[in-house]
Chain A
Amino acid sequence: MSDTMDNKQPIPEENAENIQTPEENTDNVEILAEEAAEQSENIETADGDISEDDNSSSLEYDPAKCVVCQKNLREEGSYYCSECRTEMLKTKLKSGSIFAAVLSAVLSLAALVILSFNAAQILPLIEADILVKDGYVNAAMNSVSQAEETTNGINNISFISTLSELFNGQEFFTLGNAADITTAKIYAKGYTEVDAGGYLVQQVGEDEVMSNPLFLSVRKYVKEYNLYNNTQKAVYDYFSAYESLDSQEFPYEETIKKINSHKNKDGIGNHYLEHYKCYAAILADKGYEVQNEYLLEMEKLYPSGILIYGALLADNYYQMGKYDKAIEYADKMLAQNRNYSPAYELKFTSYLATDDFKNAEKVCDDIAQTNNKAGTDNGDYTEYSLRARLLWEQGDYEKALVTCEEGIEISGGDAEIYRQQAIVYLLRKDYKKAVESANNAYQFAYYSSTLDLQTLNTAALCAGLAKDDELYETMESTLQSYGYEISTLVTDCIAGKITVEEVFSSVGGDVL
């Protein structure tokens, strides 16, 4: 019942004082009923409805009578007389209303179908969001790919593809901007906010991100990207002229002053300035302590940028022999990205440096567990190379070789696993096989653009010991093309000054 129920018949003001409650007016009921009957004979029942009388304002309202007809007395416990009640029980449901209800039910069913497809698209994205919060970056990326595959699968359903053709190639199911936003969030958590911003600028466009409110949650990444670029532009000239100079000639103090002059300027990130100061310290060969001072300052200003400064900071601690600190920062990086191989490697080598083989093995187990979470092959076979190294460090060459074979089979060839295999053969004095493995390592690294000093020096060592001059010269010339020489550890070993065991038992346990 609405508030208006008792006011169906407007009450003229002059008559309002005459209104009495049913209890009070029992004596007058019959008189009023007669009056009302005389005056309200025009109840219309068109279309099954009981409508109001246009002249109702002239009626004296009687609360004891039916609110509609004001003719008969109300039934007990009702607002209406029995006649009107009987009519009202038959009030017609309009055909238009029935049609609207049926149409809405049909639309609802269609919406249910769309909703089920949408749910299939969204679930992997939600999963990606959860995974990346736990640091499972590769697994999260796989989930985004899965969402894309699901969407393609839905669009390839014959009915939908036919509809799409009918409407000039309209996409009926799309991941919209959600895939880009989720991917940006994965980049921000798993790598850096600068990477996330760069991804958005490239995929969506800066204007769209900054103007469309749907991108509100990821706008900060584009702002960070711009901050980084502005800072880089501002300080780039201080370095470009000096990069090829000897460290003695680099004007360190002057550069630091120049960098500091940009502090607190609009569009400049103070935390990135600290990063560039660290770069200046590297160019001026100021040592790990000085470099770390800047990096720690950057950490204070921008703690979430751990994956920008963390690797260098941890590596510097490792080089300084502060293995606990190196492990601490490796853990910080892994908290953000459990798939960040350099952090695992740093942690692993830090444990090896302290002969903590148990924890070193745990690092390998963690990598395996993280990779399993991804559910698919993500191209990271660090686990095998680290396990192989752990085994040969403990003197178990046979098992190390088995692990390498296993890794090579699963990966289809991986430069670092081949390199570890070459090291095991070197330690077993099997130089012919060592050269073969080292050459494979070089080839895989070369074609996957992952050539590094370790691979080139290991190959040079193998070639030198196996008297493979051609490979040795190739390694030498390749290193020279990058401005490096063959490591003294390698040349000393080939010259017989130190043994292979001594090379690989040096700090860091490697050829550098």
Chain B
Amino acid sequence: MISTIIYLIGKLLTFPGAYLKGFFEHLCGRVFSIPVESSQYLRLTDGCGHVEHDTINGKAKNFFYCLLPGLITSAIGAPMLYAGFFGLFLLKVSFTSTTSLIFIVYCILFYLGFSLCANVYPLMEDALALWHSIYGKDGANIFVKIILFVPVVNIVIGAFFEKYSINVLLMTVSAAAIALFI
């Protein structure tokens, strides 16, 4: 229950990213012919920011379903995050009469980028399903196992972090530390 509340707080704080992550999961579901239950991406459940879908048959499908939506959100979010971060925390632009507009732009970009980059990983259940499909019984061959080890471990750990909003916390602390000490 507490973990769900923490998860929901993380998702609500980063709702633009959560919404778009859900959308891209849905899109990938359509592309890979994975049945998706609903196009309601923001729900007050532990599936907030994701879509309910049927079991995924096929290792490749499973892998790309876990990877691609996050890759798209991070590809879209990273330029916004870095543009906002550079402006606010490296250039340290502050709100003055002549820089108010760009300050607001940096704030918006930072928030949107942050929210997108905080919604990169799949649900823990999907991540574990991916792990089992590659490394479990009837898993992939040794070559695929080696090649995919780093990304799959990354996905599983990332999904765990997102489940407890640890990623949001880590990103906030890192940004604050860089802003204050550089």
Contact = CB atoms under 8 A, between A and B. Distances in A.
**Residues of B contacting A: mostly:** helix
B47 A4 contact: yes
A78 B180 contact: no
B91 A213 contact: no
Interface in A220-242: none
A47 B39 CA distance: 9
Interface stretch (A20-28, A103-111, A195-203, A459-467): A103-111
B83 A178 contact: no
Interface string B90-112: 11111000111110010001001
Interface string B125-146: 1100100000000000000000
Given A51-B38, A93-B23, A108 B80 contact: yes
B180 A119 contact: no
Contact of A3 (B24, B46, B57, B179): B46
B125 A3 contact: yes
B37 A50 contact: yes
> What bracket does the count of chain B residues touching chain A fall in?
35 or more
A300 interface: no
B155 to A, nearest CB: 15
Nearest to A126: B90
Interface residues of A, number: 59
A484 interface: no
A5 interface: yes
6 contacts: A4-B46, A49-B40, A111-B113, A176-B92, A177-B93, A178-B91
Nearest to A163: B101
Given A94-B39, A213-B179, A80 B91 contact: no
Contacts of A3: 46-47, 125
Interface string A167-211: 101111111111001000000000000000000000000000000
A412 interface: no
A181 B92 contact: yes
Given A111-B113, A121-B91, A97 B19 contact: yes
Contact of A97 (B39, B45, B83, B94): B39
Contact of A93 (B27, B98, B180): B27
Contacts of B151: none
Interface in A387-415: none
A100 B77 contact: no
A89 interface: yes
B98 to A, nearest CB: 5
B36 A88 contact: yes
B76 A118 contact: no
Contact of B83 (A4, A78, A94, A115): A115
